[in-house]
Chain A
Amino acid sequence: GAGVSQTPSNKVTEKGKYVELRCDPISGHTALYWYRQSLGQGPEFLIYFQGTGAADDSGLPNDRFFAVRPEGSVSTLKIQRTERGDSAVYLCASSPTDRENQPQHFGDGTRLSIL
């Protein structure tokens, strides 16, 4: 069945460039989450959407990071003026709603490498 899809699977770019990472959640899931995972660590929360609105963006590290979900389905994470420290795997997850006690369904991530 269709799970969470993330594209591209790998992205290599130079420091200072702009990147966009895309997430297609499971159809019908209203809650969408972005996490970032560094090597050897667990994922760290960035931002989550309930429908079209960002319900909590407290995990975004600085104003170079921005995410949108204009129609309540696909989401795009945007990073401006990339830095080498932005290199990580960016994971997207979705759940049917943002109510309590629901598991999250993860995509395979985008591996971002900033040279």
Chain B
Amino acid sequence: SQQGEEDPQALSIQEGENATMNCSYKTSINNLQWYRQNSGRGLVHLILIRSNEREKHSGRLRVTLDTSKKSSSLLITASRAADTASYFCATDADSARQLTFGSGTQLTVLP
């Protein structure tokens, strides 16, 4: 079963704009991870934020985590056409090593 939801389900923006995607989850977690998936390909790990962290940066990516609200956001700044992909959040729960994924956000960046 899916752990939670991403919103929006789909997002279309112009190149150069920022893209924000949100994720909610249901159980307590060790960490939350964001992955990217291009059509027909596997998932690529983007960033991991631990449950005791509130914010993390990696290049043009900024992730926040609010464990009291069981939610996270992924911000991609200065988007590029090559950022077009599906983005998934995934949680690594206290008692398990496998990841539980949300349903994803389909991001389209228009040149």
Contact = CB atoms under 8 A, between A and B. Distances in A.
B5 to A, nearest CB: 10
B19 to A, nearest CB: 18
Given A33-B98, A56-B98, A104-B99, A109 B42 contact: yes
Nearest to A109: B42
A4 interface: yes
Contact of A91 (B42, B100, B103, B104): B42
Interface in B92-111: 92, 96-104
Contacts of A101: 30-31, 48, 50, 92
B82 interface: no
Contact of B97 (A31, A43, A107): A31
B44 interface: yes
Given A45-B98, A45-B99, A56-B97, A105 B45 contact: yes
Interface string A28-52: 0001010100001111110010100
B15 to A, nearest CB: 25
B97 A106 contact: no
A100 B48 CA distance: 11
Contacts of A50: 97
B97 A55 contact: yes
Contact of A98 (B31, B90, B97): B97
A108 B33 CA distance: 19
B2 A42 contact: yes
7 contacts: A33-B98, A41-B103, A44-B101, A45-B100, A98-B97, A101-B31, A106-B35
Given A33-B98, A104-B43, A106-B35, 11 more contacts: A31-B97, A42-B2, A42-B101, A43-B43, A43-B88, A56-B98, A101-B31, A101-B48, A104-B45, A104-B99, A108-B42
4 nearest CB pairs, A to B:
A42-B101, A106-B42, A103-B45, A45-B98
